[in-house]
Amino acid sequence: MEKKIIQLLFICYFFHELIIVSSALQVGFYAKKCRAAESIVQQEVQRSFSTDRSITAALLRMYFHDCFVRVRNNIVYFVQGCDASILIDSKNTGNKQSEKDAGPNQSVRGYEVIDRIKSRVESACPSTVSCADIIALATRDSVALAGGPKYNIPTGRRDGLISNPSEVNLPGPSLTVEEALKFFTNKGFSLNDMVTLLGAHTVGITHCSLIQDRISRFDGSIDSNLFTRLSKTCAARNNDPSVFLDQSTSFIVDNEFYKQIRLKKGLLKIDQQLASDRSSAGIVENFSINPKAFQQAFANALIKLGNTQVLEGKFGEIRKNCRAFNPPAQQKKRQPRKKSFRPKNPPPRKGSKFSIPFIAP
């Protein structure tokens, strides 16, 4: 009995270590190391937003896809959360594919914004500001510019040394609430966190190919006028028409998304199910009538997403170029390993029906 208790404590300890929010990150991490860092990020994001308001959706998606990766090796899980692994180009890895080449990531964009920021911070403070922090800060600033919450996000992340497309496992648009929740709980997130983060669909687009299950036939689960409009749009003879996820305030980070899914105007199956599933309907209702509650929850969820499973201290590296690992001679520390038990419901491997983009920019 005593042996079993010790084993249980051992397992719980490592699982806690795996999902715990980092306590080493701090707001204002670069205040003394690189005083201009956050203002440079803000300036470049403003520059992009002034000519392309859709950059908010693009950066939100990049942030989520980078932070939501879990590297696996049998029952051992390597620490890999927000570490800028999504930025690596395969041509810079000895022609091995990188995360960027995974199916869900092939339409991720906004890399040029990160490149411009990195170029400027390297000039101001060489080898000081991580690409992972740049993604987190750029996302924060783009959300604020789009009318979303203004929040402080801790920094101090390091860049990872792994970028493997076969380890990209993301929740897809055709899941049920129960299926999608497994992805989030495996990363230490709650149902409320999931419903909140899906609120990122208040900006951005999706493509007709991803909503065919919603418009192939009318079944009453979608507003009839929207069904008619989408059927016409998606029948157009171009490659794959795009449609706004939020048909009302398409470039504004607000609670309109929740109002629409309560009216059966959700485009993606998972979005619409949030409003109809008993477990999540109450959260949706609260956000739909309380914009301040959504704004605060959204800020908290983005902070939590960016603080979970990060590299810090002397682990990983600070890349000189966000698209390439530093030369081996400059890599002083390898990726740390922290064991945990295999989750009860591990996410499917690449190639499953779940390997579909979470947020379309």
Residues of each annotated binding site: 66, 79, 81, 83, 85, 99, 171, 201-202, 246, 249, 254
Report the C-alpha gap between 319 and 87 in whole angstroms. 11
Nearest to 33 by CA among 155, 160, 159: 155
- Does residue 245 sit in helix, strand or coil? coil
Residues of each annotated binding site for Ca(2+): 66, 79, 81, 83, 85, 99, 202, 246, 249, 254
**Catalytic site includes residue 16:** no
Look-up of token digits 């403003």: 46
Q: Which two tokens stand for residue 94?
A: 């000895």
Beta bridge partners of 155: 26
Residues of each annotated binding site for substrate: 171
Q: How many CB atoms lie within 10 A of CB 68?
A: 26
Beta bridge partners of 205: 244
* Residue-level length of the chain: 361
* Catalytic entry in 37, 63, 64, 65: 65
Helix intervals (H) in the chain: 2-19, 37-51, 55-67, 111-124, 131-145, 177-185, 191-197, 212-215, 224-234, 256-262, 269-276, 281-289, 291-307
Residues of each annotated binding site for heme b: 201
Computed on alpha carbons and rounded to an integer, the radius of gyration of the chain in Å comes to 20
Look-up of token digits 């709650």: 190
With beta carbons less than 8 A apart as the criterion, state whether 40 and 122 touch: no
Cβ contacts of 293 within 8 Å, gap of 6 or more: 286, 287
Residue 315 phi/psi, 5° resolution? -80, 155
b/e string for 7-18 if b means 16 or more Cβ within 10 A? eeeeeeeebeeb
Cβ contacts of 70 within 8 Å, gap of 6 or more: 77, 80, 167, 169, 186, 187, 309, 347
Distances (CA, A) of 282 to 7, 36, 180: 38, 43, 17
- Does residue 242 sit in helix, strand or coil? strand
Residues forming the active site: 65
